[in-house]
Amino acid sequence: MDKKEKYKVNLVWTACIFLFWEFGAFILDKVLNDPLAEAKLPYPHSIILSITQNFTDLMTASGLTFSRAVMGFTIGALVGFGLAIIMSLSKVAEKIALPYLIVSQMIPVLGLAPIIFTLVKDMDASRIVIAAYITFFPVAINMLSGLNSVDMDKKELLYSYAAKKRSIYYKLMVPFSLPYLFAGLKIAAPMSITASILVDMLGSKGGIGVKLLYSLYSGTKDVFWASVVTSALMGIISYFIVVLFEKIAIPWRRQEAN
Amino acid sequence: MTEKVKNVLLPLCFGILIIAIWQLGFIHAALGFKPFQLPVPSQIVITLRDNFAKTMFDTVITVSAALTGLILGCAIGFLIAVIATMFPKWGYSVLSIIAAVNAIPIVALSPIMNRWFTDGFSQKVGVVTVVCLAAMSINAYRGLNDLRPFAKDLLESYAASGRVIFLKLRLPNCLPSVFTALKINVAAAVMAAMISEYFSASTSGIGFGIKDNLRKGIMAKGWSYIVVAAVVGIILYLIVMMIERRVIKWHASQR
């Protein structure tokens, strides 16, 4: 399967889904005569139309949501990175922190958003806190597994050159773990966007989540589906931004499609 | 043995320390919270004890929806992975599309389901199903197709049919990834059900309990719900881990 072939297959699928959706919307609208057809499953072309009509509006809203997510994501990634380094430096720290990291993964963190919101009282701060909290776990765990999987003989070679701990990390451990780090970042990026949208919906001013929430209580003629598609695109775009950064940061590693 | 004791004691001591600091009000002092904003642990435990029956009722509501969606989502996701494995050329792209679905925020799914279903339970199940479907199909597909080198060639040289290769090689090979997906999904399912409750028509459940009590300003009750949600997440996770130990004893991760 070469690249061109893959591209073709993807294109066919995308077209198929589009047509299938159109067809489904048509069935709902014209054959079943569902009075709520437009709300349940609108025609894709009408969604696209709605997006183009409300383009500036949607862009402003999603820009707000996105920029706040980026803040939290960056802080969370830095904390996760730092924590992974500390855990790899000290076995005691790893023993203390790792069980809590695992447990924090089992807890429905996003569900705690309203609590954090009432605590912090500030929209932007709580958004950043939640996005950071969600981001730091996958980053820390993946980075740590990367640091722990460096070959012993590579380390020993540097020891035999009497390299300092700092230069071992700087020259070997961190570059080696970068692919792992990016695996964590790829998981975290869409999640931090989700967190940001959720905080929007809890009562923020502006942002794409407000549009989603507003549509819950309003009629059918709205930008609801356009907002849904926009928020989905935001999640996907955030993933690809991380992939782009990965290409810049790890040029020596051939990209695997995963 | 001493190593094992250390492994348990260190995190335990740390946890007790944190709870003690919280109980004694150092956190409030450091971050400037009032006691009614962030209740101390003892208060949360007392609140939980006083409202135990109601809290349990709400928990059952949420967890039943989460589990229904989990089973549905995982079954559909696994089926998709199997079908995609049968048609490699067309199947691979389906997985990229599903990966895109995975990037759709849960919070955007919630309102969609609200439009399709009228009762809270189906709304929740709908959201949870979509969330679980993606992780399962991606992981299962990986497990069905990342075979050990030459294993498939060996079976083919014995003239094994596609069905035999699937049953004897692909299926056992995908079990570890399926359990990975399950572990991701149990936490995600509870989370999705809770979030769905914030926006759906339900008037019971953990999510509703949190929302309702925060609106009334009863913080301790809201926190007691959170403790329950965390405990439920941990219990479900442990159940999956126990099943995993039983089922894939032979796998390297279990040694």
Domain residue spans of chain A:
1-40, 42-254
Look at residue A213 and tell me whether its pLDDT is greater than 70.
yes
* Nearest residue in A to B225, CA atom: A112
Provide the domain limits for residue B166.
35-254
Q: Read out DSSP for chain B?
A: -HHHHHHHHHHHHHHHHHHHHHHTTHHHHHHT--TTTS--HHHHHHHHHHTHHHHHHHHHHHHHHHHHHHHHHHHHHHHHHHHHHHSHHHHHHHHHHHHHHHTS-HHHHHHHHHHH-SSHHHHHHHHHHHHHHHHHHHHHHHHHH-PPTTHHHHHHHTT--HHHHIIIIIHHHHHHHHHHHHHHHHHHHHHHHHHHHHHSS-S-SHHHHHHHHHHHT-HHHHHHHHHHHHHHHHHHHHHHHHHHHHHTTTSGGG-
Query: pLDDT category, A37, cuts 50, 70, 90?
Result: low
Put simply, the answer to whether A231 touches B104 (Cβ < 8 Å) is yes
Verify that B28 and B116 share a domain, yes or no.
no
- Mean pLDDT in residue range A226-250: 86
Rounded Cα gap, residues A202 and B201, in angstroms = 16
Nearest to A95 among B10, B15, B93 (CB): B10
pLDDT of residue A78: 92
Q: Could you give the count of Cα atoms lying within 13 Å of A211 in the half-sphere of its Cβ?
A: 25
Its pTM stands at: 0.80
B147 and chain A in contact, CB less than 8 A: no
Rounded Cα gap, residues A133 and A146, in angstroms = 21
Residue B254 neighbours by CB under 8 Å, 6+ apart: B244, B245, B248
For residue A105, the chain B residues in CB contact (below 8 A) are 187
The whole-angstrom distance between B237's CA and the closest CA on chain A is: 7
Put simply, the answer to whether B105 touches A194 (Cβ < 8 Å) is yes
B16 and chain A in contact, CB less than 8 A: no
Rounded Cα gap, residues A43 and B65, in angstroms = 30
Angle in degrees, CA B14, B17, B18, rounded to 5 = 90
Neighbouring C-beta atoms of residue B143, cutoff 10 Å: 23
Q: With helix as H, strand as E and coil as C, how does chain A read?
A: CCHHHHHHHHHHHHHHHHHHHHHHHHHHHHHCCCCCHHHHCCCHHHHHHHHHHCHHHHHHHHHHHHHHHHHHHHHHHHHHHHHHHHHHHCHHHHHHHHHHHHHHHHCCHHHHHHHHHHHHCCHHHHHHHHHHHHHHHHHHHHHHHHHHCCCHHHHHHHHHCCCCHHHHHHHHHHHHHHHHHHHHHHHHHHHHHHHHHHHHHCCCCCCHHHHHHHHHHCCCCCCHHHHHHHHHHHHHHHHHHHHHHHHHHCCCCCCCCC
Rounded Cα gap, residues B98 and B188, in angstroms = 17
B14 and chain A in contact, CB less than 8 A: yes
pLDDT of residue A177: 85
Enumerate residues 185 to 204 of chain B having a beta carbon within 8 A of any beta carbon in chain A. Answer: 186-187, 190-191, 194-195, 198-199
Most confident of A21-35, A119-133, B227-241: B227-241
Verify that B24 and B43 share a domain, yes or no.
no
Test the B interface: residue of A112, A120, A133 with most B CBs within 10 Å: A112
For residue A103, the chain B residues in CB contact (below 8 A) are 234
Look at residue A99 and tell me whether its pLDDT is greater than 60.
yes
Q: Which phi and psi angles does B175 have, rounded to 5°?
A: -55, -50
pLDDT of residue A257: 43
pLDDT of residue A221: 55
Higher pLDDT, A123 or A162: A162
Residue B41 tokens read as: 């642990």
Verify that B74 and B152 share a domain, yes or no.
yes
Verify that B88 and B24 share a domain, yes or no.
no
Look at residue A205 and tell me whether its pLDDT is greater than 80.
no
Look at residue A60 and tell me whether its pLDDT is greater than 90.
no
For residue A42, the chain B residues in CB contact (below 8 A) are none
- Mean pLDDT in residue range A65-91: 88
Verify that B23 and B73 share a domain, yes or no.
no
Count of residues in chain A: 258
Rounded Cα gap, residues B122 and B128, in angstroms = 10
Q: A42-254, superfamily in CATH? A: MetI-like (1.10.3720.10)
For residue A198, the chain B residues in CB contact (below 8 A) are 105-107, 195
Verify that B169 and B239 share a domain, yes or no.
yes
A139-177 per-position pLDDT tens digit: 888 888 888 888 888 888 888 888 888 888 888 888 888
Handedness of CA B243, B130, A103, B227 (dihedral sign): negative
Nearest to B195 among A17, A106, A111 (CB): A111
For residue A239, the chain B residues in CB contact (below 8 A) are 103
Look at residue A6 and tell me whether its pLDDT is greater than 80.
no
Verify that B96 and B70 share a domain, yes or no.
yes
For residue B11, the chain A residues in CB contact (below 8 A) are 95-100
For residue A190, the chain B residues in CB contact (below 8 A) are 102-103, 105
Put simply, the answer to whether A194 touches B15 (Cβ < 8 Å) is no
Verify that B14 and B129 share a domain, yes or no.
no
Nearest to A228 among B112, B211, B226 (CB): B112
Verify that B1 and B99 share a domain, yes or no.
no
Lowest mean pLDDT among A26-40, A189-203, B112-126: A26-40
Reading phi first (left if > 0) and then psi (alpha if -120 to 50, else beta), residue A56 is in alpha
* Nearest residue in B to A96, CA atom: B11
Rounded Cα gap, residues B105 and B96, in angstroms = 17
B83 and chain A in contact, CB less than 8 A: no
State percent of chain A over pLDDT 90.
3
pLDDT of residue A130: 85
Look at residue A1 and tell me whether its pLDDT is greater than 70.
no
Q: Which of A123, A135, A116 is nearest to A181 (CA)?
A: A135
Verify that B88 and B3 share a domain, yes or no.
no
Put simply, the answer to whether B107 touches A198 (Cβ < 8 Å) is yes
Put simply, the answer to whether A100 touches B116 (Cβ < 8 Å) is no
Q: Which CATH number characterizes residue B178's domain? A: 1.10.3720.10
Put simply, the answer to whether B103 touches A10 (Cβ < 8 Å) is no
Verify that B26 and B91 share a domain, yes or no.
no
- Mean pLDDT in residue range A40-64: 81
B208 and chain A in contact, CB less than 8 A: no
Verify that B134 and B213 share a domain, yes or no.
yes
Domain count, chain B: 2
Listed as ranges, residues in chain B with pLDDT below 70 are 1, 36, 201, 251-255
Whether residue A115 contacts residue A58, with contact meaning beta carbons closer than 8 Å, is answered with no
Look at residue A258 and tell me whether its pLDDT is greater than 50.
no
Rounded Cα gap, residues B180 and B214, in angstroms = 35
